[in-house]
Structure 1
Amino acid sequence: MIRNPILPGFNPDPSICRVGEDYYIATSTFEWYPGVQIHHSRDLVNWTLVARPLNRPDLLDMRGNPDSGGIWAPCLSYADGLFWLVYTDVKRLEGSFKDAHNYITTCDRIDGDWSERIYVNSSGFDPSLFHDENGRKWFVNMQWNHRGTGTGRNPAHDAFDGILLQEWNPDAGLTGEITNIYPGTERGLTEAPHLFKRDGWYYLTTAEGGTGYEHAVTLARSRDIRGPYETHPAAHVITTRDAPDHPIQRTGHGQYVETPDGAVYHTFLMGRPLPGRICPLGRETGIERCVWGADGWLYLEEGGTVPREEVPAPKGAERQAAKPIIRDFADGTLPDEFQWLRTPYPDRLFRVEPGSLILTGRESIGSWFEKSLVARRQEHHAYRAETTLDFAPEHYQQAAGLITYYNRYKFHAAFVTDDGAGVRVLQVLSCHDSYPGGALKPLGPRAKLAEGPVQIAVEVDGLTQTFLYRQNDSAWQPLGAPLDASPISDEGAPGEHQSFTGAFVGMVCFDTSGAGREARFTRFAYAGQGAA
């Protein structure tokens, strides 16, 4: 059986493609670098991260991008002996405008060096590329209407103005007329278009209802690629809007795929809320088995629109159990699960030496440019992470430690710093939606440290987290009282439609004096508690 989610933790907007016996899923990474995660599987059950292709300046530079900007909704396809990756780099997302630029890059190997990006357009986000059987290629994306007079149907979001289609050629770029092929349903906020063809029909998958609890996968079809498109008899193939007690929620934004023997599946974005509808793991990737009805429409295998937690796999496979991950950086490389923020020049932020990850203190945690933070996704509702840190601050403007992080105004961190009087201390600093409008909040007592390295841990259990510390292999001690972890979630302010990523845990260092003080981390461990 396949157990949802297949990609736990922050892995939204899944675009799936099959090449022979191999399946690949590309997901959004927003402001995290390198851009786009691509996972591989041969059984739809077990998935391995194999590439983050947008890994150099000529493909992606997000310095200055806002929180939840950056890479939105990639589309991965395979044609003409190449993998094709279409993606959006969002430079602004608040207010009436969306500065969203769409690009294409290709590679003959999923884990190879991808070609320099080709600019396509900026008329809207969520682009995808459809390779027709006659060799023609078609580019689709949602259209953004900054005037707020579009077809979105939701008064708060009527800037959504339908799905645009235009022919695209690798040599000539976009050519021919632009056609608005689909305005969407009454659910509104129509986005995430993907085309596929079957039995002479062009099928258009879209996402509707926003990224929250109204979310849905909508299907339409036409005999002509330019339309008109008729909507599915049930409108939505996947949605959990009317199943509020189901453990899987926020379902939408996915793509159709067939197995070599003709079984059909559809990926979808999903969330697993804790009480109070809080999703610290962000938007994850799920998959459902589907069937084709006698009417030529796609339906979930067991009917209805609510996806299952367990789904039959296309062939026998056993899900590999997750194991605790311990990193000692012995081979001098950054482990695959870690990312940093925005910049294509990571050597300014960190370096890896055999046995150590060394962070160079740069700008504050609120920076959109150079922030020395290296972290991994939270993949479990309960987990423990710990690190070993050697850091000697000379001033209170220098700090390093362990952080649970969503974005620049939603985090808890246990920092080694100077207390302003030359004493090295360990102190919790937090933001509860007050940053940048308010001050950082020190929580709990300071712990005076002896010389030498310090071990810092965090234990997260649902919506509660506790920092702990020790030195010289002494007993672990809590650093202050348990903390409210709910702000480190999608639903923490400013709320739905503005927070699109997920919780991370990792290592951080800043030096707002400009001296570039270094922090040496010699170990990092992560262990999930219970099911993923």
Structure 2
Amino acid sequence: MKISNPVLPGFNADPSMIRVGDTYYIANSTFEWFPGVRLHESQDMIHWSLIPSPLTRPEQIDMRGVPSSGGVWAPDLSYADGKFWLVYSNISMVDGAFKDGTNYLVTAEDIRGPWSDPIRLNFTGFDASLFHDDDGRKYLVQQTWDFREYHHPFDGITLTEFDTSTMTLKPETARTIWRGTKAKLVEGPHLYKINGYYYLFCAEGGTVYTHQESVARSQTLEAMSFEGMPSNPFITNFDTPDSYLQKQGHGALVNTPSGQWYYASLCARPWHHDNEPAYDPRGWSTLGRETSIQQVEWDDDGWPYIVGGHGGQRYVDAPRDGIATDVPSHHNQHDEFDSHKLDLNWNTLRVPFTEKMGHVGDGELVLHGQGSLRNLFDLSLVARRWQAFNFDSHVYLEFNPTTYMAMAGLTNYYNDFCWSWIYVTWDEKRECRVIDVAQNNRQTYTTFLQDKAIAIPDGISGVWLKTKVRTQSYTYEYSFDGENWHEIPVQLDAALLSDEYVNQTYGGFFTGAFVGLACVDVSGYRADARFKHFDYKEQNDTL
């Protein structure tokens, strides 16, 4: 049996993997998307089931107004003392010298909850993790952010003892234990105690094509006591540009019941336009940062290494003691909206799905028109990840606007800067509903059909809207009967929905493309849109 990487395709970044008994769990970053922290479980490391997220209440994570790629950064999942511990950041600034935010802790006896209200820890820096030592003491390990312009902003790894009797940190114990290698940008620390050594795994090089993971160790937790592994980096694709997987680095180590070791890492799979070189730029990652798993062994000096080389492998031997996991495919999705709860694949931005946004059940998803798709506060958008380079997605929409300020439709969305959609609105000159396509490219909004928007005939209660994504580009279609489809002659560049494109002008490029359903009414009268029969179906991949 083989692990096929990535094991979690589509935006599933910064994996924190643990094992409890014979079950493995992975927690991933969600940034501004709600609910906070994405969880999967498996017993064979091959097949993974999506399970409910731990941060489902605004009291646990308040992201209203946070910038794109703010919010939940690098959660750390651990298990000790008969319960699960989850540390996470809520980052409120992305660009510039400051990275304002707060680190929190929640706990649960069952991975499916209920999860506690949050305990405020500190900030100091992001990517915080909780280390449970074998003597019962606990420590917060975190990247340290230095805002001073005359210092490097990544100021090493800080260790601070956590007092379980008061559930607070002891700031007087804080010390820097390692400053990383020459690659700089040391972050994402995870600490392990193995055979008498404390092993520190850290990401370096930035979460781009220079990304890597480095390892250091020490026999104590004293300040600056850690020495780097002579063969660092532990994993990287900086020098393997032809590898199927790229950007591997930030992740977590886990062992199996029989003593095998594995490492879960973020990764990416970039593609190129036909007229672009393969290496510079290395490509466009529309699926964002995904999760891969590599096998780990140890050398005679007690240092870890990736089996097959530090570039990793697409196919990896699965644990010999894994328990076959029967998992229904979550890559395709058909939703009739019969349930009064959103399917686990759906996400909203910054806030939970409540009656202010709409309601679901009895065969429809109703969205109340709120702000534009650039709005960071009041937005009616329900979306799911792109998890393949090629897919079709369609939905049936009933919407009766009376002003051009009211719009509803199907969107392909990266963040508030970069998105497009096919939508229904009102044409006041023709006095009828119309279908149009528009794109927001950074600060420029372009309506493609304008006065040639497709008129919806009288007597048509609703329309079918579709998108076809084909790796490098995507299109939109419409139908009045659900059988005869008409392609709108606008082909859009998928690169605009990639990490690399966003990174050209903005410091928060950490998520991935989504396909979703949205209703906008900037007139303020909250026009209702009714969505039915949503479908997301993957086609043959090209990568």
| TM-score above 0.5, yes or no | yes
Residues 42 and 325, structure 2, Cα contact 8 Å, conserved in 1: no
Q: How many residues align?
A: 520
- Tell me the residue number matched to 1:247: 244
Displacement after TM superposition at 1:180 (Å): 0.5
Q: What is the rounded CA distance, in whole Å, between the counterparts of 1:331 and 1:65 in structure 2?
A: 30
Counterpart code for 1:85: L
**1:103 Cα deviation from its structure 2 partner:** 0.4
Contact 1:387 1:456 in 2 (8 A): yes
Where in structure 2 are the equivalents of 1:160-199 lying within 5 Å?
Answer: 160-172=154-166, 173-175=168-170, 176-199=172-195
Query: What one-letter code is carried by the residue in structure 1 that aligns with 2:339?
Result: D
Structure 1 match to 2:280: none
Structure 1 residue 523 displacement after superposition: 1.4
- 2-structure distance, mates of 1:71, 1:420: 42
Aligned to 1:448: 455
Residue 484 of structure 1 is aligned with which of 479, 484, 493? 493
Letter of the 1:170 counterpart: T
If the length of structure 1 is used for normalisation, what is the TM-score? 0.95
Residue 225 of structure 1, CA deviation: 1.8
1:423 is the counterpart of 2:432:
yes
* Residue matched to 1:91: 92
- Confirm or deny: 8 A CA contact 2:393 2:534 kept in the other structure: yes
Residue 473 of structure 1 and its aligned partner are, at CA, apart by 3.5
Cα deviation for residue 149 of structure 1 reads 3.7
Matched, 1:309 2:314: yes
> Contact 1:385–1:458 (CA<8 Å) still a contact in 2?
yes
Shift of 1:218: 0.6
Partner of residue 468 from structure 1, selected from 469, 477, 501: 477
Deviations 1:118-157 (CA, angstroms, capped at 9, x unpaired): 000011100000001111000011111100344xxxxxxx
Residue 498 (structure 1) shift: 2.4
C-alpha separation in 1, matches of 2:60 and 2:256: 31
Deviations, residues 311-366 of structure 1 (Å, cap 9, x unaligned): 00013658968464211012332111000000146321121121001011111111
My pick for the range that moved more, 74-83 or 487-496, is 487-496
Offset, 1:428? 0.3
Q: In structure 1, give the amino acid aligned to 2:420.
A: H
Farther off after superposition, 479-488 or 3-12: 479-488
CA offset digits 1:471-498 (Å, max 9, x no partner): 1245100022221111011112343742
Matched, 1:15 2:11: no
User: Is 1:458 the counterpart of 2:467 in the alignment?
Assistant: yes
CA distance in 2, matches of 1:73, 1:498: 14
- Taking a change above 3 Å as real, the CA distance of residues 16 and 318 of structure 1, as seen in their structure-2 partners, is closer
- Asked whether the equivalents of residues 210 and 497 of structure 1 are also in contact (C-alpha less than 8 Å), the reply is no
Task: Report what 2:279 is aligned to.
Answer: none
TM-score computed with the length of structure 2 as normaliser: 0.93
Amino acid in the other structure paired with 1:481: V
After TM superposition, the structure 1 stretch with the greater mean CA deviation from structure 2, 108-117 or 340-349, is 340-349
Shift of 1:529: 1.2
| Distance in 2 between residues matched to 1:501 and 1:442, nearest whole Å | 25
Match of 2:513 in 1: 503
Query: What amino acid is the match of 2:512?
Result: G
Name the SS of the counterpart of 1:295 in structure 2: coil
- The letter for the 1-side match of 2:333 is I
CA contact (8 A) 1:18 1:24 kept: yes
SS of match in other structure, 2:453: strand
| Separation of aligned partners in 1, 2:39 and 2:414 | 21
CA distance in 2, matches of 1:254, 1:368: 29
Letter in 2 for 1:340: T
Q: Deviations over 1:220-251 (max 9, x none)?
A: 00000225101011121100100111111111
Equivalent position of 2:40 in the other structure: 39
Aligned to 2:200: 204
Instruction: Write the letter of the residue equivalent to 1:255.
Output: A
Aligned-partner SS, 2:355: helix
1:518 partnered with 2:528? yes
| C-alpha spacing 1:211/1:497, structure 2 compared with 1 (3 Å) | farther
Q: Distance in 2 between matches of 1:403 and 1:474?
A: 21
- In proportion to residue count, which structure has more strand? 1
Partner Cα distance (1:149, 1:355) in 2: 58
* Deviation by residue 1:11-37 (Cα, 9 ceiling, x = unmatched): 000000100001000000000001000
CA shift, 1:113, in A, is 1.4
Match of 2:211 among 203, 210, 215: 215
One of 368, 388, 391 as aligned partner of 2:396: 388
Whole-Å separation in 1 of the counterparts to 2:227 and 2:326: 39
Alignment of 1:100-499 (within 5 A): 100-150=101-151, 158-172=152-166, 173-175=168-170, 176-226=172-222, 227-275=224-272, 277-302=283-308, 304-315=309-320, 317=324, 322=329, 324-344=332-352, 346-421=354-429, 422-433=431-442, 435=443, 438=444, 440-444=445-449, 445-450=452-457, 451-495=460-504, 497-499=507-509
For residues 69-91 of structure 1, the C-alpha deviation after alignment (integer angstroms, 9 at most, x for no partner) is: 00000000000011000000000
Percent identity of equivalent pairs:
41
CA 1:179–1:324 in 2, change beyond 3 Å: closer, same or farther? closer
Q: Return 5+ residue gaps in structure 2 as ranges.
A: 277-282
Amino acid at match of 1:162: G
> Alpha-carbon deviation of 1:402?
0.2
Counterpart Cα distance in 1 of 2:128 and 2:301: 29
> Helix, strand or coil: the match of 2:193?
strand
- Per-residue CA deviation, residues 64-115 of structure 1 (Å, 9 max, x unaligned), is 1000000000000000011000000000111100102100000001111111
Contact 2:94/2:507, CA 8 A, preserved across alignment: no
Q: Distance in 2 between matches of 1:170 and 1:49?
A: 31
Work out whether residues 287 and 386 of structure 2, in 8 Å CA contact, stay in contact via their aligned partners in 1: yes
Corresponding residue for residue 58 of structure 1: 59
How far apart in 1 are the matches of 2:532 and 2:483? Answer: 18
CA RMSD, Structure 1 to Structure 2 (Å): 1.5
Amino acid corresponding to residue 48 of structure 1 in structure 2: S
